[in-house]
Amino acid sequence: MLEPNIAGVASLIGDPARAHMLIALMGGKALTATELALEAGITPQTASSHLGKLVDSGLVMARKQGRHKYFQLQGAEVAELLEMMLNLSTQMAPLKITTGPGDPNLRRARVCYDHLAGEVGVALYDALVAGKYLVDNGSETLLTATGRTFFLSQGMPLDEFNGGRRPLCKSCLDWSERRNHLAGRIGQWILEDTLARRWASRDPVSRAILFSTGGFAKFAGKYGLAGCYAAFDFRGR
């Protein structure tokens, strides 16, 4: 009987260059080998070799479009594993270490594969629980009847989400905040809707999500974050 090859997966992620590339892919965008080589500080040829191993292992998938080949994480499960490893690595580090990224924009709001993370992501999760749209049962997050009515009224196609492998809502321990933010199909929809409404935009060079002042005011009003608005400084955006 074959046993899970934990050591094999760990060795693939554990290489510093591959780890940098995997973290870069946590933004959810498809990137080329050249772009990933820049992220890892290695040559494109070396990056192609590393990416071949990641694709063969099933951690990363390759997509060809025209003359270019793009790489993405295989799915949300891989992103969640990487986020957990980021949390674990900071817990095992010296006590004086600052958790999470040093960039204040990344700490404020960033993409965790396909959902919102950082200070704003955690505030969103807390607001949805306080509003009784979600129930936080520790390791399990549940959508309430009130939440279902609310999200349907906002145009979320909840009925289309039924039957998929991915849960509607799921808590994800935030790397920088060490508290839950919202993953799952609902978390994905909220981020996509926020970007579609142009309340925020993706930083083209990082995983940061950049809210405008007016955009955050609308986001906060919609999801009940008004009480924590003063905690976030969006002046000049």
Q: What is the pLDDT of residues 103-152, one digit of tens each?
A: 888 889 999 889 999 999 999 999 999 999 999 987 789 999 999 999 99
* In the chain, beta strands by DSSP E: 60-65, 68-73, 110-112, 115-117, 134-136, 141-143, 170-173, 180-183, 200-202, 209-211
Residue 60 and residue 78: Cα distance in Å, rounded?
9
The fraction of the chain above a pLDDT of 70, given in percent, is 86
Beta bridge partners of 208: 110
Domains and CATH numbers, the chain: 6-74 (1.10.10.10), 96-231 (no CATH)
Which whole-number Å values give the CA distances from 78 to 22, 82, 137, in the listed order?
A: 9, 6, 23
In this structure, which amino acid lies at residue 108?
R
Largest CA distance in the chain: 60
Q: What is the DSSP letter of 226?
A: G
Six-digit token pair at 151?
């999200």
Q: 173-230, pLDDT tens digit by residue?
A: 888 888 899 999 999 999 999 999 999 999 988 889 999 989 999 999 999 987 655 4
Mean pLDDT for the chain?
A: 86
CA angle 74, 181, 160 (to 5 degrees): 60
Print burial letters for 174-212: b (CB count within 10 Å at least 16), e (below 16): bbbbeebbbbbbbbbbbbeebbeeebbebbeebbbbbbb
